[in-house]
Amino acid sequence: MLYTLGIWIYELGIRLASLWNPKAKAFINGRKESFSNLPEGAIWMHCASLGEFEQGRTLLEYIKKEKPEEKILITFYSPSGYENAQIEGIADAVRYLPLDYPLRIKRWVTILQPQCLLLVKNDLWPNLLKATKGENVPTHIISGRFSPKQKHLKWMQQPLKGITHFWVQDETSAKHIRSFGIKQITVVGDSRFDRVYANVKNNRDLPLIQTFKGKEKLVVMGSTWPVDISLLEEKPTYKLIVAPHDLKYVPDIKKQLKGLLYSQANEGNVRDHQVLIIDNIGLLASIYKYADVAYIGGAYGSGLHNILEAAAYGCPLLFGPKYHNFPEAAELIGVGGAISINNKKTFQKAISYYFDKAPKDDILQYCESKRGASEKMWQGIFN
């Protein structure tokens, strides 16, 4: 009862915010279409947002390749993942997951009658799990990651026990789930490594970026926030590309760094600039292949952004101090492929260090050792 009341209060808050907030408006309006034209009997994957979609994508690609006759439904909790999955065209249908009201979510599952449900990482909803168990829907956690810090799991023990199998990233996650008396667990690793490997194989050549770099050293600062930009010297002595986390920061970055916008760059003017500012979406993963050093933003705030896109090219990494919830960051530091910095001085020192000594082979070997989670899950779930 209290949980359902909490969902109702949360929805009310989102509805109020939707009067002025575009993301909240998309959250509400998108759910008006949740029940329309559902592909019955589909393989259903649920992702909280874009990051989880990228984590589950390689498993979906296995399914599309090996079982092309099967329908695929992807649901999202947030607008960012929903909008990107629509563009990719990997699913037969993309919908917002209805809010976790008991009757509403039960009706959804009853109408859909999915072949199975694949829940990416740890976006767990009690009434959803109750509904899938009631309809005998095989439910799998894929690339799951759990820790004692997730206090809400304690009161979700009963729904968790109804999950068919947990395919988790590491032994820490497995140990925590076992503490609830659950035994159906397999450690497979993190499928994000499979995804970034696929990105490297299928990366785009970007002639403008190559022309901009020329024969100079290139630092790429990806997914940056204003605090990350403050680490820069007034006039970098190397070529610099900045890709902000949110495009709303582009005007301020241009004013501060006097850089050229990618949208205004051409073969004639790009080589004459020291700073290039990426003012569109979708290029960053391919840009990293040209970098001599990559700085990844977010670790001065709520959390480090994706470092694996750059690491997959063997690019040495820099990031701020708040990385401890990201095991891949600590592991890359351990193999010499990353440095955590905390001010301008350590930032410049780390760049100079990696310009002289780039541990590309160590980084590539680390990434290679982590591949294979998607295939293990494919074999375990569908074969």
In this structure, are residues 329 and 305 in contact, taking their beta carbons and an 8 Å threshold?
no
Residue 107: inside a domain = yes
Domain finish residue from 147, 167, 189: 189
Q: Are residues 232 and 349 in the same domain?
A: yes
Whole domain around residue 145: which residue ranges?
A: 28-189
In angstroms, what CA-CA distances link 120 with 146, 282, 310, 351, 367? 12, 22, 23, 35, 21
Q: Are residues 184 and 209 in the same domain?
A: no
Q: Are residues 52 and 183 in the same domain?
A: yes
In sequence order, the 6+-apart residues with CB closer than 8 A to the CB of 4 are: 101, 102
Which amino acid appears at position 319 of this protein?
Answer: F
Q: What pLDDT, on the 0 to 100 scale, is given for residue 171?
A: 94
- Residue with more model confidence, 150 or 336: 336
Which of 76-90, 92-106, 241-255 has the least mean pLDDT? 76-90
Q: Are residues 177 and 288 in the same domain?
A: no
Q: Are residues 262 and 150 in the same domain?
A: no
Pairing of strands 43-47, 116-120: parallel
Residue 383: inside a domain = no
| Percent of the chain whose predicted confidence (pLDDT) is above 90 | 70
| Percent of the chain whose predicted confidence (pLDDT) is above 70 | 99
Q: What pLDDT, on the 0 to 100 scale, is given for residue 86?
A: 67
Q: Are residues 65 and 109 in the same domain?
A: yes
Q: Are residues 253 and 232 in the same domain?
A: yes
Residue 64: inside a domain = yes
Which amino acid appears at position 354 of this protein?
Answer: Y
Residue 376: inside a domain = no
CATH number at residue 235: 3.40.50.2000
Q: What pLDDT, on the 0 to 100 scale, is given for residue 87?
A: 61
Q: What pLDDT, on the 0 to 100 scale, is given for residue 349?
A: 94
Residue 94: inside a domain = yes
Instruction: Kindly state the average pLDDT of the residues 85-108.
Output: 87
Whether residue 83 has pLDDT greater than 80: no
Residue 108: inside a domain = yes
In sequence order, the 6+-apart residues with CB closer than 8 A to the CB of 66 are: 378, 382
Rounded to two decimals, the pTM is 0.88
pLDDT in tens, 127-184: 999 999 999 999 999 999 998 888 888 888 888 999 999 999 999 999 999 999 999 9
Q: What pLDDT, on the 0 to 100 scale, is given for residue 228?
A: 93
Whether residue 85 has pLDDT greater than 80: no
Q: Are residues 105 and 146 in the same domain?
A: yes
In this structure, are residues 224 and 243 in contact, taking their beta carbons and an 8 Å threshold?
yes
CATH number at residue 109: 3.40.50.11720
Instruction: Kindly state the average pLDDT of the residues 88-114.
Output: 91
In angstroms, what CA-CA distances link 172 with 1, 41, 146, 318? 32, 34, 7, 26
Domain finish residue from 138, 159, 189: 189
Confidence of residue 383 (pLDDT cuts 50, 70, 90): confident
Domain finish residue from 160, 189, 218: 189
Residue 9: inside a domain = no
Nearest to 300 by CA among 269, 346, 255, 241: 346
Number of domains observed in the structure of the chain? 2
Q: Are residues 271 and 300 in the same domain?
A: yes
Residue 13: inside a domain = no
pLDDT in tens, 355-370: 998 899 999 999 999 9
Q: Are residues 170 and 221 in the same domain?
A: no
Query: In which residue are the tokens 């926030």 written?
Result: 225
Q: Are residues 32 and 181 in the same domain?
A: yes
Q: Are residues 214 and 340 in the same domain?
A: yes
Give the pair of three-digit tokens for residue 80.
């960012």
Mean model confidence pLDDT for the chain: 91
